[in-house]
Structure formats: structure tokens, C-alpha cells
Structure 1
Amino acid sequence: MKKPSSKIREEIAKLQDQLRAAETREAERIGRIALRAGIGEIEVDEAELQAAFEEIAGRFRGGKEVATGRKNPSGGRTGGEATSTLTYGAGAGSADEA
């Protein structure tokens, strides 16, 4: 027996609520981690910060690019340009600073 459209709409609404809740949990988790890393204290454009997060996500996905709806998800850089790596925490200094 097929479901009536009203039941399908109810299921969609429940799934949308679940999605919002999951996204909120994920955002809070990422936000806490970013704050502990000191990101909240850095003056940086949101587009640059998003590009940096996309690079990090790509690194943890094993280099697989994910479509973000942007023409160039690398924040305006092309494949031939070098990127810098930021290091935070105990390993942030040079070897001879210890």
C-alpha cells in the first residue's frame, strides 16, 4: 500500500528536524575545537577561513575534493600554487627554540 502524501510530508519534516539537530551538534563540536585552537582570536575573512577548513577536510578525507557549490573550492588558489601550513600548540616553534 502506498503512503499518502501527508505521511510522506510528516516524515520529511521529522528528517529535516533530525538534520538540523545533527548539524547543530557538528557545528558546536567544530566550534569548540576551533576555539581551543585559538581560531576565535584571529582576524580573518570568512571566505579565507572556509577555504582553510576545506583544505583540512580534504586532508582528512585522503585528498578527495568535495563539491561546495563554489567554482574554485580552494579559495581562489590554483593547483600550482603553494599553500602554507599553520602549526599550533607544542610543535609550533622551530626546533632550536626549545
Structure 2
Amino acid sequence: MSSLTRDDVAHLAVLARIDLSEAELDRMVGELDVILGAVAKVQQAPIDGVAPMSHPLPLTNVTRPDVVRPSLTPDEALSGAPEVEEQRFSVPRILTED
């Protein structure tokens, strides 16, 4: 049995600014007890010699190499644009200079 009490859960709820009903407080004692039990079990894992890590799998740069490939010409890219100005899409101004 855990040392977690209903008053502890009520105090945590106040700190988290969560309004819990009486029934929710009673239910949360059991749920938080299960969570604390799982954390205690994980804390018993043998970790001597294990380096801290940010991810369980080793990560490397997952981006693809930057390779020049054929692409659209500016005229092809702008061919469907309603308005073009100096090889750019022309759009209505939405911001003022202020």
C-alpha cells in the first residue's frame, strides 16, 4: 500500500489548479498509486554504466543529401499564376508601411 493519501491528492490538485470532486479525489488516490508504483519499478532498473540519453535509439541526421536535380524553370513555375511581376508571384499587399 502506498503512503499517498487523499489529502496528498487534494494538495496536488490545488497546486495544479485542478478542481476535483470528492469522488474524483477518491479515484485519483488509486490511480496515482498505480503510477507511483510503476515509477518505483523503473527506478529499480540496473543503470550502472549506462550513459544518459535523450532518445532510446541512436539518431543520425535523417535528412536526405542536398543534390541538384532537374526542376521547373521560372516560366514553368509561374505559368499558372494569376499575376506575375519580375519573375515572382504578385499578391495583394496586406500590411502597411506603418
Greater share of residues in helix: 1
TM-score normalized by the length of structure 2: 0.33
TM-score normalized by the length of structure 1: 0.33
* Higher RCO, Cα 8 Å, sep 6+: 1
Report which of the two structures shows the higher radius of gyration computed on alpha carbons: 2
